[in-house]
């Protein structure tokens, strides 16, 4: 639900800055009067808690993401104005440090999430609890204290308040985005900032929050309030527990996306398919990623072929006997985030750890000949068998030469199905042990990329495939 830079025009985000500056000032004065010195660490813990729960984001239609905010539960526990300060600090940290949400729109994001979430969440919760407590109360745990509202009432109030608060924030976000085409129109009639009108923005943002995101926000709020009631812990201890849970979940997420994927060429019917996947898994890809295909006969002469798209995979059907098939692919920008790899440039991804401009070559030797044993013209990173692999048996080693920019590449790992098989010597030669069946040999080379704000490095990957039947 964070709005990035470039989506709101100056008049829109400027209005939010004009509104938020006095709100922050008033909230600071209220917190200064009502929060004791001994409670200041709790304010910081509220910021940390909000920051943690916002780390988990969910893709939603329209090219954006949704996430829970924790603003309502922080407001319930610390008070509405403390929540405004705590969640605003969290959003500022995300915008400045993690690039999640734009800089010019910090005030808009703080209004939608911190102000609406904190104040509306606290107000709805308080109203429900006070209204329900008229009909049923339990004795106070403290001598002389006021009767305590039943736990079920407080949990219900927290769930309803957090659900409504985050959906109200989502509604305002969708309206702010959807009115941009009405306010700003370019000379050619197109939208200058956010391009989609209200009829697109409203369902794209609001519907996922009414279902998945709102339900998760309510569920987390109930768990937090129940946790406090059952264990009688303070905010600091709760955040420590939250950190532990977050680290465990992050580790599980990292493990789930650790498996890399490759392009390779395999036999399919009367042709050869360029496939994308991992192991036995096949995944869809955009056939437009394949920029060039070349088929050579045993003597190294080009062979005519037909291209067909079958189940979103490109199938090559040579017109004559083929020896080597080479595909040149452009995979675009990839960013490694704390959620795994995303096919997005650095400026459009969130919580980016690493970003690359990715290119792939896929080379398949389907019959031995002179073409299979020499470099392919135009391949920046080439894997060249130094002997006929079809004459070898499983368990034997195939010498493979790695060239990068036409020169031997020494000291690079040669992988097979994402396991290291060998490393090249100074001549670029690696002795690769073979197994029975399809061989998928992979080499990757990375270099720093200068002058591109969407990637830190350029990555070139080549796969070499062939079959060992003995």
pLDDT at residue 141, rounded to an integer: 47
pLDDT at residue 94, rounded to an integer: 84
Mean pLDDT of 194-208: 85
Mean pLDDT of 264-270: 88
Q: What is the pLDDT of residues 150-169, one digit of tens each?
A: 888 889 999 999 999 999 99
- With a CB cutoff of 8 Å and minimum separation 6, the contacts of 337 are 349, 350, 351, 352, 353
Question: Is the confidence at residue 145, as pLDDT, over 80?
Answer: no
Q: What is the pLDDT of residues 91-120, one digit of tens each?
A: 998 888 776 778 889 999 999 999 999 999
User: Computed over its alpha carbons, how large is the radius of gyration of the chain?
Assistant: 29
Helix then strand then coil, in percent of the chain rounded to 5, is: 40, 30, 30
Question: Which pLDDT band, with edges at 50, 70 and 90, does 134 fall under?
Answer: low
Q: What is the pLDDT of residues 172-187, one digit of tens each?
A: 999 999 998 888 875 5
Residue whose token pair is 């009502």: 34
Residue 99 · residue 350 · CB < 8 Å: yes
3-state secondary structure of 206: helix
Q: What is the pLDDT of residues 358-399, one digit of tens each?
A: 999 999 999 999 999 999 998 999 999 999 999 999 999 999
Domain chopping of the chain, boundaries: 10-256, 262-468
Least confident among 7-21, 127-141, 228-242, 451-465 = 228-242
d(CA 90, CA 326): 49
d(CA 39, CA 70): 19
Sign of the alpha-carbon torsion through 230, 235, 240, 244: positive
Mean pLDDT of 201-206: 86
pLDDT at residue 37, rounded to an integer: 64
Beta bridge partners of 430: 400
* Token pair for 224: 């937090």
CATH, domain range 10-256:
1.10.1760.20
Greater confidence (255 vs 32) lies with 32
pLDDT at residue 88, rounded to an integer: 92
pLDDT at residue 297, rounded to an integer: 94
Greater confidence (200 vs 61) lies with 200
Greater confidence (355 vs 258) lies with 355
Question: Is the confidence at residue 418, as pLDDT, over 80?
Answer: no
| Cβ neighbour number for residue 40 with a 10 Å cutoff | 12
* Token pair for 369: 């000949």
Residue whose token pair is 């020896």: 323
- With a CB cutoff of 8 Å and minimum separation 6, the contacts of 422 are 413, 414, 430, 431, 432, 433
Residue whose token pair is 């591109």: 452
Percent residues over pLDDT 70 in the chain: 83
Residue whose token pair is 């339990």: 138
Question: Is the confidence at residue 460, as pLDDT, over 50?
Answer: yes
pLDDT at residue 132, rounded to an integer: 77
d(CA 292, CA 368): 22
Q: What is the pLDDT of residues 48-86, one digit of tens each?
A: 788 877 876 665 554 455 678 889 988 998 889 999 999
* Token pair for 267: 């036999």
Range among 1-5, 33-37, 346-350, 372-376 with highest mean pLDDT value:
372-376
Q: What is the pLDDT of residues 268-305, one digit of tens each?
A: 888 999 998 876 677 788 888 899 999 999 999 999 99
DSSP state of 322: -
């Amino acid at each position: 639900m964070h709005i990035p830079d470039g989506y709101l025009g100056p008049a829109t985000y400027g209005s939010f800055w004009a509104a938020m500056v006095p709100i922050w000032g008033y909230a600071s004065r209220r917190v200064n009067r009502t929060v004791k010195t001994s409670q200041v660490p709790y304010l910081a813990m509220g910021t940390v808690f909000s920051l943690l729960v916002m780390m988990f984001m969910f893709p939603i239609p329209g090219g954006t993401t949704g996430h829970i905010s924790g603003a309502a539960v922080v407001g319930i526990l610390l008070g509405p104005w403390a929540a405004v300060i705590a969640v605003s600090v969290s959003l500022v940290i995300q915008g400045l440090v993690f690039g999640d949400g734009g800089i010019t729109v910090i005030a808009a994001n703080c209004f939608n999430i911190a102000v609406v979430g904190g104040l509306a969440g606290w107000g709805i919760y308080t109203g429900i609890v006070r209204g329900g407590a008229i009909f049923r109360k339990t004795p106070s745990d403290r001598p002389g204290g006021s009767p305590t509202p039943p736990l079920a009432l407080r949990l219900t109030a927290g769930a309803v308040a957090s659900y409504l608060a985050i959906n109200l924030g989502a509604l305002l976000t969708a309206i702010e985005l959807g009115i941009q085409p009405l306010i700003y129109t370019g000379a050619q009639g197109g939208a200058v900032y956010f391009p989609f009108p209200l009829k697109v923005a409203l369902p794209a943002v609001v519907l996922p929050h009414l279902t998945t995101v709102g339900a998760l926000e309510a569920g987390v709020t109930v768990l937090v309030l129940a946790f406090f009631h059952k264990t009688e812990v303070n905010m600091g201890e709760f955040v420590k527990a939250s950190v532990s849970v977050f680290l465990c979940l992050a580790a599980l997420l990292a493990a789930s996306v650790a498996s890399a994927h490759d392009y390779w060429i395999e036999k399919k019917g009367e042709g050869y398919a360029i496939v994308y996947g991992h192991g036995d898994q096949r995944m869809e890809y955009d056939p437009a990623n394949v920029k060039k295909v070349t088929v050579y006969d045993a003597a190294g002469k080009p062979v005519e072929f037909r291209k067909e798209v079958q189940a979103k995979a490109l199938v090559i059907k040579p017109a004559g006997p083929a020896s080597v098939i080479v595909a040149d692919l452009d995979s675009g920008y990839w960013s490694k985030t704390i959620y795994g790899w995303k096919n997005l440039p650095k400026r459009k991804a969130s919580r980016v750890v690493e970003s690359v401009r990715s290119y792939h070559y896929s080379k398949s030797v389907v019959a031995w000949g002179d073409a299979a044993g020499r470099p392919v013209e135009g391949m920046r990173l080439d894997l060249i068998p130094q002997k006929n692999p079809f004459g070898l048996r499983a368990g034997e080693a195939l010498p493979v030469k790695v060239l990068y920019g036409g020169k031997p590449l020494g000291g690079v790992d040669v992988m097979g199905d994402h396991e290291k098989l060998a490393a090249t010597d100074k001549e670029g030669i690696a002795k690769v042990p073979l197994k029975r069946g399809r061989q998928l040999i992979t080499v990757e080379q990375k270099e720093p990329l200068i002058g591109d704000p969407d990637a830190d490095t350029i990555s070139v990957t080549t796969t070499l495939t062939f079959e060992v039947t003995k």
